[in-house]
Amino acid sequence: MKISVLKSKIHNVKLSECRLDYEGSIEIDSSIMENAGLFPYEKVLVVNRSNGERLETYVIPGARGSGIFMLNGAAARRGAPGDTVTIMSFASCDLDEAAAFKPTILIMHKDGKLRKKKL
Catalytic positions are: 25, 58
The Cα 7–Cα 4 span in angstroms is 9
Which residue, 74, 87, 83, is CA-closest to 28?
87
In the sheet with 17-19, reading across from the earlier edge strand, the strands are 17-19, 69-72, 25-29, 54-62, 43-48, 84-94, 2-14, 104-108, 114-118
101 touches 11 (CB < 8 A): no
